[in-house]
Amino acid sequence: MAASVTLSRLVFSTATATTTATATASLLPPKTLPSKVSLRIPARRCPKPLRFSSSSISATIAVGDKLPEATFSYLDSEGEVQTTTVSELTKGKKAVLFAVPGAFTPTCSQKHVPGFVEKSGELRAKGVDTIACISVNDAFVMKAWKKDLKVNDEVLLLSDGNGTFTKAIGCELDLSDKPVGLGVRSRRYALLAQDGVVKLFNLEEGGAFTFSGAQDILDVL
Ligand SMILES: *[C@@H]1O[C@H](CO)[C@@H](O)[C@H](O)[C@H]1NC(C)=O
């Protein structure tokens, strides 16, 4: 089953109306980069970072599908590499998996994880067993990002470094023509799975952050 959305423009930004010229942190092309890029996270807005064109976006996974098996890695508190699998995360469980185009990427991703951390108690109260963030980054970067965001165990930060899971669900995002060095990453999404079967799939346009937040999941629980 394929879900497909055709877009004239694929943007990293949110549709939030507060997107204004005051945006500082961005993935803009070099010529428009301010001399000092601020990574500060504005309280309630997600500045428009990167614009690029694409004729269509699509995913191969859809509501009703079983998630493909895949292995993720992470570093434990001792700094040892550990792995976990889609089935470990989802079998017999209610699981929320969400993805970002990259650890440390400005504003939107820097807000996505904290939103789930903040709502993790509410999600668990609604029966969610697993809350995990997936990114096409290596486990060392994910660990550093976890530390930077001061995340404990509210949300698992998992590495899909080779993009195997991301590709298996058709969510790869090719940013290889952008000068920031991201290469092929994951589109932003949030999904809810019950015993490994997708119940809700909020797939964003590129890295946009409009309806893949924790509250959007809470709203359907
Ligand atoms: C890594 O990705 C490549 C290309 O998508 C794939 O052929 C390969 O099987 C993957 N390796 C692992 C260990 O998943």
pLDDT score for 63: 95
Query: How high is the mean pLDDT of the chain?
Result: 79
Ligand 1: centre distance to CA 184 (Å) = 13
Q: What is the pLDDT of residue 60?
A: 86
Alpha carbon nearest to ligand 1 atom 13, residue? 162
Asked if the model's pLDDT at residue 28 lies above 50, the reply is no
| Mean predicted confidence (pLDDT) in 177-206 | 93
How large is the average pLDDT for residues 106-112?
Answer: 78
Looking at residue 210, what DSSP letter applies?
S
CB-based contacts of 18-27 (< 8 A; 24+ apart in sequence): 18/44, 18/45, 19/45, 19/46, 19/47, 19/48, 20/45, 20/47, 22/47, 23/47, 23/48, 23/49, 23/107, 25/49, 25/106, 25/107, 25/110, 26/50, 26/106, 26/107, 27/105, 27/106, 27/178, 27/180
| Predicted local confidence at residue 53, as pLDDT | 35
For ligand 1, pick from 85, 162, 171 the residue to mutate: most ligand atoms within 8 Å of CB: 162
pLDDT tens digits, one per residue of 76-96:
999 999 999 999 999 999 999
Q: For position 116, what pLDDT does the model report? A: 96
* 107 band by pLDDT with thresholds 50, 70 and 90: low
Residue 48 has pLDDT above 50, yes or no: no
- What is the pTM (predicted TM-score) of this model? 0.76
Active site residue 108: yes
- The residue-averaged pLDDT of 128-148 equals 97
Instruction: Report which ligand 1 atom has the smallest distance to the Cα of 163.
Output: 2
Q: Which residues line ligand 1 (CB under 6 A)?
A: 162, 164, 167
pLDDT score, position 57: 54
